[in-house]
């Protein structure tokens, strides 16, 4: 399977899973798996921290620039990129509302406002492709 196909599989998984399990690496080695929500916008996956920048998983993932999503024995590696696009943030807000509002209206509201909104991370293929 190519890197593109693997990332398409990752995107499909995150689009349909209710709660994703993100694995982040501890500073002294090992990892911690944390349940989070994930959405997709125009086929691109995004995540946010419901606890803002203070969430430990978020700080570890941002510092490493990568993480894995875990589903049983399957692992979905990704690279992470912070976003700073107001229009994109609005689209990500709507994706959270569409996916989670019916089940969890209160937590969904917190995921579409500050401080969560400023923690939006775009997920990228773990293979950056050829250098240009």
pLDDT at 94: 98
Q: What percent of the chain has pLDDT over 70?
A: 96
pLDDT at 16: 95
Whether the Cβ atoms of residue 51 and residue 94 lie closer than 8 Å to each other:
no
Alpha helices in the chain (DSSP H): 3-16, 56-64, 86-100, 105-111
pLDDT band at 2 (very low <50, low <70, confident <90, very high): confident
pLDDT at 17: 97
Alpha helices in 17-132 (DSSP H): 56-64, 86-100, 105-111
pTM: 0.93
Q: What is the pLDDT of residues 115-129, one digit of tens each?
A: 999 999 999 999 775
pLDDT at 62: 95
CATH fold for the domain made of 3-122: Pnp Oxidase; Chain A (2.30.110)
Is a pLDDT exceeding 50 seen at residue 90? yes
pLDDT at 132: 45
What integer best gives the mean pLDDT of the chain? 94
Average pLDDT over residues 80-94: 94
16, two tokens: 């349909």
In angstroms, the CA 91 to CA 78 distance is 21
Is a pLDDT exceeding 60 seen at residue 130? no
In the chain, domain spans: 3-122
Please state the φ and ψ torsions of residue 108, each to the nearest 5 degrees. Answer: -65, -40
């Amino acid at each position: 399977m190519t890197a593109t196909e693997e990332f398409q599989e990752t995107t499909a998984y995150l689009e349909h899973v209710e709660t994703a399990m993100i694995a982040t690496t501890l500073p002294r080695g090992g990892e911690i798996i944390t349940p989070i929500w994930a959405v997709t916008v125009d086929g691109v996956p995004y995540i946010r921290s419901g606890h803002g920048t203070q969430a430990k998983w978020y700080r570890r993932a941002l510092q490493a620039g990568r993480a894995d999503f875990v589903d049983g024995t399957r692992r979905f590696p990704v690279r992470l990129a912070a976003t700073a696009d107001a229009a994109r943030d609005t689209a990500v807000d709507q994706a959270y509302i569409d996916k989670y509002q019916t089940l969890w209206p209160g937590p969904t509201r917190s995921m579409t406002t500050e401080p969560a909104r400023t923690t939006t991370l775009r997920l990228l293929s773990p293979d950056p492709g050829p250098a240009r």
